[in-house]
Amino acid sequence: MYSLFLVLIATLTGERDIDAARENHCGQWDSEEDFAWHIFDEMYAYQIPESMHHYFDIKRLASDLFDFDYYFENGHVFNRC
């Protein structure tokens, strides 16, 4: 089933190489914001006191991530590189 999904994604995104689609697959999230929270937690959360996390603009981070580095397709996130 996963291979069929990669073929579909490769077709939808214009990716010609199924292995490249597999390599660029970052996982599955409910929304772009959920993925942005994942990135925030892995890269920045430890640097910012937890009491200040609610001040972080996650929608802005998601917008920047998906404008340049990632794309979101049917709940799946892919790296553009």
Higher pLDDT, 74 or 29: 29
Return d(Cα 66, Cα 1) in angstroms, integer: 26
Separation between Cα atoms, residue 77 and residue 36, nearest integer Å: 11
Per-residue model confidence as pLDDT tens digits over 33-66: 999 999 999 998 888 888 988 888 999 999 999 9
**What is the residue extent of each domain of the chain?**
1-28, 31-71
Looking at residue 1, what DSSP letter applies? -
Helices 58-68 and 32-43 pack at an angle, to 10 degrees, of 100
Look at residue 1 and tell me whether its pLDDT is greater than 60: no
CA distance 81 to 70: 8
- Residues, the chain: 81
Q: DSSP 3-state assignment of 3? A: helix
12 vs 21, which has greater pLDDT?
Answer: 21
Average model confidence (pLDDT) across the chain: 83
The arithmetic mean of pLDDT across residues 15-43, rounded, is 85
32 pLDDT more than 60: yes
